[in-house]
Amino acid sequence: MNSEKETDPTANDGTAMLCNRLRKNLRVLGKWARQQNIECYRLYDRDLPEYAFAIDIYGKRVQMAEYQAPASIDETKVAARREQAIAAVQEVLGIEPEHIVLKSRERQRGKQQYEAQDQTHAFFTVEEGPASFWINLEDYLDTGLFLDHRPIRQFIRENASGKRFLNLFCYTATASVQAALGGASSTLSIDLSNTYLDWARKNYLLNKMGGKSHRLKKADCIEYLDSKYEKFDLIFLDPPTFSNSKSTSNVLDIQRDHLSLIRKAMKKLESGGLLIFSTNKLSFKLDAEVLRKYEVQDYTTASLGKDFQRQKKIHQTWLIRHSQHPIGLR
């Protein structure tokens, strides 16, 4: 990727501004990523209001996620800016057109988030520290890797040695891979989606994880938490903001249900263990009862990488431990 090439002075002013911003970001974030051995990161996120995109680097490929334009903006202008943005990415990053994937950022609910959007089967691998992951930019709503959770996965890897790790709503189980590579004695990853569990199996094989120590389980996480067996030393709880999957009768609303979820998860947590709770709901407020009942540390700032410093509300994260002086929930 070449960040030094100068913009053609005859280019459209808006395109030139976008090129210059991409070059500026690439100089800073590209250097940081190389130093940290990071292949996947967010380069740009609506830095210029006229170009409302999130631009993510995945090795030698790019995903451009276009935010929905206000109805007041003419579609012709929207289309023109889209073409300008694609051209700017090609020019600044030196990416071939077939390695740029354009998506529209629209929130999905229920099964839509799990269903294939296309059928290209265009999987490729990337590295994150000692781990390798399968990525697909084209066939699904999500890519297989939440970039904003990179520091959380690193934290899990660094704190997993000898621990029994539980990954709830595990998605493609990238956090479990990092836990295993960090020396976790066992991992259990739970999700309702066959699509994501199959993807997780591929990630396990890629990282030579196998045997009875590292398990994948198709289950409703809420129902699993109600079971009596198994305790864990380290738990990652990152539920969807809302879920009404046909695979379960439980309808999840994270603001309404997080107190119950945390309470259930803490019953699975050994004394001295740690629960990592994260949510991407923008308006989320942690219930005061959690603060009363447990020892809680706001880990949000530490959980944001350099590439998400402009989007500090991308998620919120807390570290939750059993209190040494427990107070009963009302």
Per the model's pLDDT, the better-predicted residue between 157 and 74 turns out to be 157
Lowest pLDDT segment from 138-142, 205-209, 257-261 = 138-142
Tell me: do 30 and 166 sit in the same domain. Answer: no
Lowest pLDDT segment from 195-204, 243-252, 276-285 = 243-252
Q: Residue 330: pLDDT above 50?
A: no
Q: Which of 89, 78, 98 is nearest to 25 (CA)?
A: 89
CA-CA distances (angstroms) from residue 305 to 84, 241, 314?
28, 22, 11
Which tokens is 301 given?
A: 């700032």
Per the model's pLDDT, the better-predicted residue between 115 and 99 turns out to be 99
State the average pLDDT over residues 254-266.
96
Report the alpha-carbon distance of residue 309 to residue 197 in Å, rounded. 31
State the average pLDDT over residues 24-46.
96
The pLDDT confidence band at residue 229, using thresholds 50, 70 and 90, is confident
The pLDDT confidence band at residue 249, using thresholds 50, 70 and 90, is low
Q: Do residues 78 and 69 make contact, with C-beta atoms less than 8 angstroms apart?
A: yes
State the average pLDDT over residues 219-233.
92
Tell me: do 31 and 83 sit in the same domain. Answer: yes
**Segments in 37-168 forming alpha helices (H):** 75-93, 150-158
Lowest pLDDT segment from 69-83, 241-255, 285-299, 304-318 = 241-255
Tell me: do 29 and 130 sit in the same domain. Answer: no
What range defines the domain where residue 206 resides? 126-322
Can you give the length of the chain in residues? Answer: 330
Q: Do residues 221 and 235 make contact, with C-beta atoms less than 8 angstroms apart?
A: no
CATH of the domain at 304: 3.40.50.150
Above pLDDT 90, what percent of the chain?
A: 78
Report the alpha-carbon distance of residue 243 to residue 229 in Å, rounded. 25
Give the chain's mean pLDDT.
90
Tell me: do 200 and 232 sit in the same domain. Answer: yes
At 88, phi and psi to the nearest 5?
Answer: -65, -40
User: How many domains are there within the chain?
Assistant: 2
Q: What is the pLDDT of residue 205?
A: 97
The pLDDT confidence band at residue 211, using thresholds 50, 70 and 90, is confident
Q: What is the pLDDT of residue 105?
A: 66
Asked if the structure places residue 289 within a domain, the reply is yes
Name residue 172's amino acid.
T
